[in-house]
Homo-oligomer: A and B are copies of this chain.
Amino acid sequence: MGEGLALGIDIGATNFRLGLVSSDGVVLERRMEGVGRDRSARGIVSQVERCAAAVGYNGVVGVGIGVPGIVDPSCGVVYRSPHYPKWLNEPVKEMFEDTLGLPVVLDNDANMAASGEGWRGAASGMDNFIMITLGTGVGGGIVCGGRLFRGEKGFTGEIGHMVVDFDGPSCACGGRGCLETYTSASGIPNILGRLGEGDRRRIIDAAGGDVSSVTPRLLYELAKGGDPSSSLAWRWFGRYLGVGIASLVNVTGIFNIVIGGGISRAWDCFISHLEDEMKKRLYKESASFVRIVQASLLDDAGILGGANEVFKS
């Protein structure tokens, strides 16, 4: 399937993005829609199909789809998705193939983003790299020898659920102290928990008094405006992410790290703290090889990754 066009579809927690992509990696057309209220797999498949029909299938050789959740790419089943509780053992690949009448490649959204960054983004030319996506949760994808590393069932790269803190806060996965409990939008309250009472109070007050209103965006704006309390929060954020990356480097021996997802826009606020902490945790031989770069494709990563996996299949 090396020629023609592909549809890349990136299904997020609340929206999906769809793009028509050429075989040289140009997004010729893109759409975004909020997911309808039903949120069943069947409902989303129908909605995506209408959107795809509006863009047109002319010359499309296949469709690459990233979904947030536990996916087995070999059989195309989504076992579970934290954002779509109705999805349980859904044969999503088959549903899309029946509806669209085209071959479908299905994978976890973070794996697709990794594939996209490796093709046309910040990891272009890197044979081995790890992609970390920082959003509501923390996702990951591992690329080895130019291909997504799949493990046995494809449940690889669940980087957000590496434990960095044995007795740490409860995680959505049922565990405790996972990386995601600190370095994601949902982990912000735990980051604030590492601050002194005064600093924490200042930030919560700036959010109108409610801790659940403290978003990464607000923390970013406060820090950019010179607020020292939110800079301290970013320091803790960077330190936890640095520990997570050190663990990843130690386990995988992969030295190129690409960080994307919405929170990566606050790069300047955390990168130096991340690197300092990571170096403390690595042998200097490893630390000297590590290269951490910001993802470059932003919202197109999943679309391009989906298309890349189609052209490579």
- Seen from chain A, the residues whose Cβ lies within 8 Å of a Cβ on chain B are 70, 79-80, 128, 140, 142, 144, 149-159, 161-168, 173-177, 240, 243-244, 246-248, 250-255, 280-283, 285-286, 289
Known: A165-B165, A175-B281. 4 other contacts (CB 8 A): A161-B283, A163-B243, A175-B282, A252-B252
Q: A164-B163, A175-B281 are in contact. Are A152 and B254 (CB under 8 A)?
A: yes
Nearest 7 CB-CB pairings of A with B: A151-B253, A156-B253, A158-B250, A175-B281, A162-B247, A161-B250, A155-B253
User: Which chain B residue has the least Cβ–Cβ distance from A154?
Assistant: B253
CA distance A8 to B32 in the complex (A): 59
Q: How far is the CA of A150 from the CA of B254 in the complex (A)?
A: 9
**What are the residues of chain B within 8 A of A70 when measuring CB–CB?**
283, 285-286
State whether B253 touches A251 (Cβ < 8 A): no
Chain B minimum-CB-distance residue to A179: B247
Among A144, A251, A280, which residue has the most Cβ atoms of chain B within 10 A? Answer: A251
Given A175-B280, A280-B174: A286 and B155 interface contact (C-beta under 8 Å):
yes
Residues of B within 8 A of A282 (CB): 161, 173, 175
Report B-chain residues with C-beta under 8 Å of the C-beta of A142: 251-252
Closest to A176 in B: B281
Given contact pairs A151-B253, A251-B156, A164 touches B166 in the complex (Cβ within 8 A): yes
Residues of B within 8 A of A149 (CB): 144, 252-253
Q: A283, B166: Cβ atoms under 8 Å?
A: no
CB distance B163 to A151 under 8 Å?
A: no
Q: Is the CB of B243 within 8 A of A173?
A: no
**Alpha-carbon distance between A64 and B79 when the two chains are bound, in angstroms:** 43
Smallest CB-CB separation from A127: which chain B residue?
B152
Q: Tell me the complex Cα distance, A53–B166, Å.
A: 50
Give the complex CA separation of A164 and B176 in angstroms.
Answer: 11
Q: CA separation between A70 and B289, bound complex, in Å? A: 14
| Cα(A253)–Cα(B74), bound, Å | 13
Pairwise interchain contact A166-B240, C-beta atoms closer than 8 A: yes
**A204 CB, nearest partner CB in chain B, Å:** 23
For the complex, what is the distance from the CA of A280 to the CA of B170, rounded to whole Å?
11
Closest beta carbon of chain B to A125's beta carbon, Å: 14
CA distance A128 to B153 in the complex (A): 11
Q: Which residues of B contact A157 (CB under 8 A)?
A: 251, 253
